[in-house]
Every structure is written in C-alpha cells, then in structure tokens.
Amino acid sequence: MSTWLEDLRKTAKPEVARDWEIVGNQDMVSLRNMVKALSMFEILNTPEENERLASAKRILKRKGK
C-alpha cells in the first residue's frame, strides 16, 4: 500500500511532490495561515522557513487559493 505522497511522485511533476514534502500534510487553510505568518517579517525567517514559505505559495497558486 502506497502513501499519498508516493502516489503524487508517480503522477505529478517532481517539484509538486517536493513542495508537499517540505510543507507536510497540511490543509489549504493551514497553508494560507503559514504563508501569512511567515510573510510578516521575512527578514527574521531561517532558510528552512523561507523554503517552506516558497513551497506553500507555489501549492496555493496551483490550487487556485
């Protein structure tokens, strides 16, 4: 039995699966909240937080918000 992420890797582009690996299994409301929180003071973000912010923005853009 495969997981949803493994299925996504097989069917979607690699960057889509990578974005979901970075942000984890989050719903759209959580992703919007994450983007809002990480966007407030981007200068204080760590490199990992900046990567998470970029991935969440790409996922929301693909989903049509």
Domain ranges of the chain: 4-63
Mean pLDDT by 10 residues, the chain (65 residues): 70 81 91 96 95 95 79
Query: Is the distance from CB of 8 to CB of 20 less than 8 angstroms?
Result: yes
Q: Which two tokens stand for residue 54?
A: 């970029």
- Residue-level pLDDT at 8: 72
- pLDDT score, position 16: 85
Can you read off the two tokens belonging to residue 55?
């991935």
